[in-house]
Amino acid sequence: MIHLLQENVAIILPENGLEEKLTQAQKENRKLSIKLGFDPTAPDLHLGHAVVLKKLKQFQDLGHQIIIVVGSFTARIGDPTGKNKARKPLSAEDVQHNAQTYINQLSKVIDVQKTKILFNSDWLDALDFSEVIQLLSKVTVAQLMHRNDFNKRFAENTPIAMHELVYPILQGFDSVKIECDIEMGGTDQLFNCTMGRQLQEVHGMSAQIVMCMPLLKGLDGKEKMSKSLNNIIGLTDEPNEMFGKTMSIPDALIEEFINLTTDFSVEEKKTLVSRITEGENPMNIKKLIAKNIISQYHDNASAENAEQFFINQFQNKNFEEKVYESVFIHNLKSIQNKVSLVELCHQLKNELSKSAVRRLIENGGIQVNNNKITDANEEMELIPQTKIKIGRRGFFELI
């Protein structure tokens, strides 16, 4: 059992803490309280979030109590981002909307009916100012400066606002209020989670252990998966979108995706990794990963259909047999029904900047009626039934 719970975990603090907590719970004939806190800053969960959620599910399946702490108070302050600047605080309305969306999506991974969902505004709003000062007195500035991004910003003379220093203390106080045994998060949350241990100790409580999961890299293969970087596979993405995005990951990410995003058995994972090592076409393994992911968040039939759609859409060479997204000509901005190719492609795929579209055109990544066009400034007449392919996954037909 303990080997299952330790699988893929990047950090356990203290090192033997999990075994001790499980032994303690068994002696006291009780279940462990396992906390995951999140600030509802963006309403969409993705596979990066699921890495932690799936570990929570393992604890839940063993009968332990999962506690989700929604940062309904702390989100209105703004968590330091780790990117050398403060995160913009949210309004109360944004917090409520995003939190509800998060909670609805949690059921994709954990059993929400067996999960405690708490809002930290319930106890943090109730603190009077003298209680806040008493809480702050439990932590020194030197301790806070051990957080890497604070230390880096201080060394670079980049401003650090006082509310940012308070944030990890408030997150730690959540663990005191709910009497948490284990706090989980990504490795980027290590400092904030250890603050919970410290504050529990100064309040005379048994200190929680900290379990940090690795940060899943996004589709770019460089940065962690993040909605702000537009490199995510969302838990609510449609099956075809999930499949296509998974097939786009760099080959170097395959092993990471096998270990962190699939629910294959340990032996199946080892076999897939060895197949890559032995030189099998990476596309074959990506297809298996993509189907497994879709089966987890949709169903097996959707996974099979998504694979077939991908084969027809992206591996079938026949331009005419592709599935095209219809775009009404009257919804496009033009002058006398004409527009430059770069402007047209930007309007069709507005998540791409014009400079990115221009590079795509110059590199031969745009086809109009099955013909490559490499002049970004070429004037396009908006004619019904014109078919345009933008990059690998953008198929549009003017109507």
Residue predicted with more confidence, 257 or 392: 257
Choose among 217, 303, 213, 299: nearest CA to 255.
217
Please report how the helices 162-178 and 190-202 are oriented relative to each other, as an axis angle in degrees rounded to 10.
Answer: 60
Percent of the chain with pLDDT over 90: 54
User: Interior CA angle at 362 toward 357 and 366, to 5°?
Assistant: 60
CA 116 to chain centre: 22
- Secondary structure of residue 353 in the 3-state scheme: coil
Do the Cβ atoms of 60 and 33 come closer than 8 Å? Answer: no
Question: Strand pairing partners for 381?
Answer: 338
Would the pTM count as exceeding 0.95?
no
Give the amino acid at 136: L
Positive or negative: CA dihedral 228, 35, 136, 76: positive
Which residues lie across from 37 on neighbouring strands?
Answer: 69
Q: What is the pLDDT of residues 326-382, one digit of tens each?
A: 888 888 887 878 888 888 888 888 777 888 888 888 888 888 888 888 888 888 888
Q: What is the C-alpha separation between 75 and 58, in angstroms, rounded?
A: 28
What are the b/e assignments for 363-374, b being 16+ CB within 10 Å? eebbebeeeebe
Give the model confidence (pLDDT) of 193-248 as tens digits: 999 999 999 999 999 999 999 999 999 998 999 887 889 999 999 999 999 999 99
Give bridge partners of residue 11 from the DSSP assignment.
212
Pairing of the two strands 366-368 and 371-372: antiparallel
